[in-house]
């Protein structure tokens, strides 16, 4: 087990280096100039713009900028925003609690919905219950999040006036009433994301469990006298989890980067909104930091998924 872990860990290091090179290269060569906002200001001369460019390190060759950025990132220094001149780490840290609250809660609810419904749908295939669950999952997966978000705003904010349409980032929880307000303004974005995540994962769980139900080992276990529930929980679900773990491992890093579309619809000041704003402003340090952290999280959770495989099926280690 330890040798398997070390092999996977050593393989992750060059992967992260390759990701860092690709992220830095693409963003450095992408169209858009961080000095563009100063170009329209007649009070800022060309000499001043050039001095600003030098202070930001934009006058140096691309390989030199990459090495400096990577070494600084490894030391915890993500640089400074081109537009606000604030530390990138501070900007991300300010947005992280909101993102974890909204996107994290939505993912937890989505998983809690997907697993039982996916298993039930697979066990009760072609029944009326399976048809209802399948229809629900197809609708949740097919409808874009901005469509369901706007529908919820029209129904619960405009028509019924039950929930606020936009997220109030200045709200601070100091008493029970403020806690209720926080919950109310989180219901719609969490619901939108939960429906999408749950529907996608539900189809995957159903397909994986359905494939395992007809395996020979299931028939053997039933012939030995094991109950249907015991075979389902101890054998079928465990083997079915192997491909599902991959999907979850790839999805969890998205909790950090936030929900790009949903945060825009409900004006949630999360990391996703920060990323969109930084892209529009050509704020390269912020975009690079968020993108590379996302890549790091994907590699880490893929490593965790590999270790989970070895626990679910020891044959994976060899």
Task: Assess if residue 206 is contained within a domain.
Answer: yes
Task: Assess if residue 306 is contained within a domain.
Answer: no
Task: Assess if residue 44 is contained within a domain.
Answer: no
Give the CATH number of the domain where residue 218 resides. Answer: 1.10.3720.10
CA–CA gap between residue 316 and residue 282 (Å, rounded): 44
Question: What global pTM score does this model have?
Answer: 0.75
* Statement: residue 41 has pLDDT above 60: no
Task: Assess if residue 151 is contained within a domain.
Answer: yes
Model pLDDT, residue 53: 66
Model pLDDT, residue 55: 63
**What confidence tens digit (pLDDT) does each residue in 98-136 have?**
888 888 888 888 888 888 888 888 888 888 888 888 888
Task: Assess if residue 248 is contained within a domain.
Answer: yes
CA–CA gap between residue 209 and residue 189 (Å, rounded): 30
Task: Assess if residue 241 is contained within a domain.
Answer: yes
Q: Which residues contact 26 (CB under 8 A, 6 or more apart)?
A: none
For residue 87, the SS3 value is strand
Model pLDDT, residue 117: 87
Q: Phi and psi for 87 in degrees, rounded to 5?
A: -60, 135
Closest to 136 measured CA to CA, from 47, 79, 198: 198
- Print the domain residue range for 228: 90-269
**What confidence tens digit (pLDDT) does each residue in 220-256 have?**
877 877 777 777 777 777 777 777 777 777 777 777 7
Closest to 243 measured CA to CA, from 308, 155, 317, 160: 308
What is the DSSP code string of 197-209?
A: HHHHHHHHHHHHH
Task: Assess if residue 157 is contained within a domain.
Answer: yes
Of the pLDDT bands very low, low, confident and very high (cuts 50, 70, 90), residue 197 is confident
Task: Assess if residue 307 is contained within a domain.
Answer: no
Domain count of the fold of the chain? 1
Mean pLDDT score across all residues of the chain: 79
Most confident residue range from 2-11, 190-199, 239-248: 190-199
């Amino acid at each position: 087990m330890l040798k398997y872990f070390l092999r996977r860990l050593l393989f992750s290091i060059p992967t992260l280096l390759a990701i860092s090179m690709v992220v830095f290269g693409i963003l450095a060569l992408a169209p858009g100039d961080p000095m563009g906002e100063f170009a329209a200001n007649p009070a800022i001369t060309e000499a001043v713009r050039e001095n600003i460019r030098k202070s930001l390190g934009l006058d140096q060759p691309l390989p030199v900028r990459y090495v400096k950025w990577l070494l600084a990132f490894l030391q915890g220094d993500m640089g400074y925003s081109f537009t606000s001149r604030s530390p990138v780490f501070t900007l991300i840290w300010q947005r992280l609690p909101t993102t974890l609250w909204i996107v994290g809660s939505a993912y937890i609810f989505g998983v809690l919905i997907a697993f039982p419904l996916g298993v039930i749908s697979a066990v009760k295939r072609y029944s009326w219950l399976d048809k209802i669950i399948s229809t629900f999952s197809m609708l949740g997966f097919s409808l874009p999040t901005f469509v369901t978000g706007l529908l919820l705003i029209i129904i619960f904010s405009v028509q019924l006036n039950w929930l606020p349409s936009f997220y109030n980032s200045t709200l601070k929880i100091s008493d029970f009433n403020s806690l209720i307000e926080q919950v109310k303004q989180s219901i719609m974005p969490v619901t939108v994301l939960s429906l999408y995540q749950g529907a996608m994962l539900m189809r995957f769980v159903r397909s994986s469990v359905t494939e395992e139900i007809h395996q020979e080992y299931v028939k053997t276990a039933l012939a030995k006298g094991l109950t249907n529930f015991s075979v389902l929980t101890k054998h079928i679900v465990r083997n079915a989890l192997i491909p599902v773990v991959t999907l979850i491992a790839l999805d969890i890093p998205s909790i950090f980067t936030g929900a790009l579309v949903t945060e825009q619809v409900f004006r949630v000041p999360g990391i996703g909104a920060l990323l969109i704003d930084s892209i529009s402003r050509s704020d390269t340090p912020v975009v690079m930091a968020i993108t590379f952290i996302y890549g790091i999280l994907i590699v880490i959770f893929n490593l965790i998924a590999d270790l989970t495989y070895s626990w679910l099926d020891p044959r994976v280690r060899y």
